[in-house]
Structure 1
Amino acid sequence: MWLVLLATTLILIPFINCFHISNLCQNQCLNNGTCIINAEDKRESCLCSSAFSGDRCQIKINECSSSPCRHGGQCIDGLGEFMCSCLEGYEGRLCENPIDPCQNNPCENQGTCIRTQYNNNFRCVCPTNYSGRTCNIHIKDFCASSPCVLNATCENLPDGYRCYCPSNDSCDRTKIKNLT
């Protein structure tokens, strides 16, 4: 068989191992595969899309089989593609980018956000009279009236105060006073 191309000169090219795409295949390809008949030996084969494999494109390829998602992200298989559903604190196509937990400063009442190394988390350093994970709890200043004896240090607690005596002092107010 010869293929003839017409240009300014005549060129003869041998037509060997040509493939013919046809809808006349006896074994139809599945999942939008294209049937190809080898012109030389009349053998049929299927050209599958990237989402399928097999003789007749009958096997769906699992794009999640290689576990492409990182940092515990969940892989969701699609047709010829996948998507990662990231755990909180991560973003990116493969959940590869940690989100800075202090980016939007979750600490309230002028608390200072400090990023921790454990699990991409944070902690807040709260100003005086505030406590809680995000410095959202106002602590009443029970120490404002100086309830502790001379030389004792007063510490505010959420529902009272605590007095600390210096180690060389014999004051007896080292107990917690609950006011509620």
Structure 2
Amino acid sequence: MTSGLQFSVLLFLCFTAFQESQASQNCLNKQQLLAAIRQMQQFLKGQETRFAEGIRIMKSRLNTLQNTLIKSPPDSQTASCPDLEAPDNGKKFGSKYLVDHEVHYTCEPGYQLVGLSSRLCQQNGSWTGDAPYCKDISQCSSQPCLNGGTCVEGSNQQYKCICPQEWSGSNCQHQTQTATPQSSVANDAAFNRKPRCARIDRTQHCSCDAGFQMSGTPDNGICQDVDECEIYKVDGAPRLCMYNCINIPGSFRCSCPSGYKVPGDGKTCEDIDECSSGIHNCTRGAMCVNIGGGFHCVSPECPRPNGNTSYVKTSPIQCERNPCPMESRSCHHAAKTISFHYLSLPSSLPTPLTLFRMATASAPGRPGPDSLRFGIVGGNSRGNFVMQRSDRQTGELILVQSLQGPQTIEVDVDMSEYLDRTFQAKHVSKITVFVSPYSF
């Protein structure tokens, strides 16, 4: 309670008491009360003046703000860029044309992209760079024929692989079973059996076991093995088996390359996970990564210290930047986190295919970024990948050109965070892709 209000209450109580008993000893006399009343009147007059002055100042400021808003230009609409078309014999990825959004380009097999692989929508409503185009290249320049096969140019963007004798398939990806010489088959009792014969009504009837067929005359015939692998071959690749067909007396069996096993169906090939089964030879401290037909031992390492920038390993696949000095701009713009990821892919996967996603999440009690930018910062010289936004907080690494194995590809992608268009942090993911020589 303020002193002025306390005094007013006291004055009121005393004035009431004065009316009831002027002889009261607890209250002020008449002259003192009149003086107190005059003092309160001056106090209220001062308060009224200050209140009026505050109202006048507030009205003046509101009028000034109103005039400023009336004279200001209308709110600018969210800038956007004109539509873009995919290049001839190519593809365009990205359908949002607002500021800070990107589009990416890639070409069909047999063509090479000339120009920028991505363009950014700028604040002025224009795209960065010029539109790229796809240039026709040799069909054999990508070396599609495996295992020593020879590539021969064809028409309509087609090529043909001439394979060594022990390999077959459109890309020489299948190992063929060496044919058993006919002479050895003819002399092998397992592949040639006597028929089962019976004479019925003076006529001899002969039959063969399943998987054999009659050859010769009924009186002098023989049951020869049916080569199922040879019968069901199409374009040099066995149809009966996923990988390799081996003819056996009366039937066939399927085999798989090293690092694979034949599951219960007897026809397909299933990768052996050496890492989970513990049959790898990775040393202590190394991480085992299972790939198609084998495994790799990897030991991700953090970057070496560079000036004020240094990293510490916080998990087997992640490094985090140590705190930066306040004045070190280069340190603040270096990657805040670096993570390592390993993918195993079969050959000839259909595209486009999403391989990897990056996203952000704000810490509890802290505002998250209001803008993200995603990009490929290394390892995409052949244009096999594009990076595009899938939603407001997620970016996707997309495979846009089918890969032929065996090969290992490394690609680095980053995600930059912005708040009110001010750079906050950058995160880098280093992705290693192991491509199997087989399509399974």
Q: Please identify which structure carries the higher helix content.
A: 2
TM-score higher than 0.5? no
Shorter-chain TM range is 0.3 to 0.5
Calculate the TM-score normalised by the size of structure 1.
0.42
Calculate the TM-score normalised by the size of structure 2.
0.20
